[in-house]
Amino acid sequence: MIMEENKNLVDKIAEKEQDNNTFGLKVLTWDMFDSPDTPGSGFRFMDRELVVLLDEICARNRMVIKVDLGYVSKVYADKIKLVSNDSHRAGKAVRLRCVGHKRRFNLIQQLILFGVARIAVNREVVYFDVDDLKEYGFYLW
């Protein structure tokens, strides 16, 4: 009897975690934006508007994305040598792996249409942030 109650409790906790993982999103999940050393940090610390904007772009265009870097904790940021004012530390930046000129162009076009004014790109990565403290621009890495 106690084993069954514990199993039900574990199932309820798992369902709640799954709900939190997709809360407010259509296609993406919050754990995609987690700091590698802190599970659940994407949901707790990522900028909501940024994630919902990216989710909307992915849903409208049927895009599948790979998030290379979302929120990073202080410990992880120090480990990978990010500067102290890096937007990833505040959960206001995303680095996506995006290979292929058509996919990259489509993603950048959608970001601009949705009002993102700070974008960086190279052959394999598209970076964007919504940090109000940084200068607008389009950057080539």
Tokens 């992880």, residue?
A: 76
Query: What are the structure tokens assigned to 136, written together?
Result: 């607008």
pLDDT band at 14; cut points 50, 70, 90: very low
Query: What are the structure tokens assigned to 40, written together?
Result: 């659940």
Domain ranges for the chain, please list them. Answer: 2-140
pLDDT band at 20; cut points 50, 70, 90: confident
Give tens-digit pLDDT for 50-100.
Answer: 999 999 999 999 999 999 999 999 999 999 999 999 999 999 999 999 999
pTM: 0.84
Classify 2-140 by CATH class: alpha beta
Query: What are the structure tokens assigned to 116, written together?
Result: 């993102």
Q: What is the mean pLDDT of the chain?
A: 90
Residue 7: pLDDT over 70: no
DSSP per-residue letters across the chain: -HHHHHHHHHHHHHHHHHHHHHTT-SS--GGGG-BTTBTTHHHHHS-HHHHHHHHHHHHHHT---EEEE----HHHHHHTT--TT-GGGGT-EEEEE--SHHHHHHHHHHHHHTT--EEEE-SSEEEEE--TTS--EEEE-
Tokens 């906790």, residue?
A: 13
Residue 27: pLDDT over 60: yes
In terms of Cα–Cα distance, which of 83, 97, 84 is closest to 127? 97
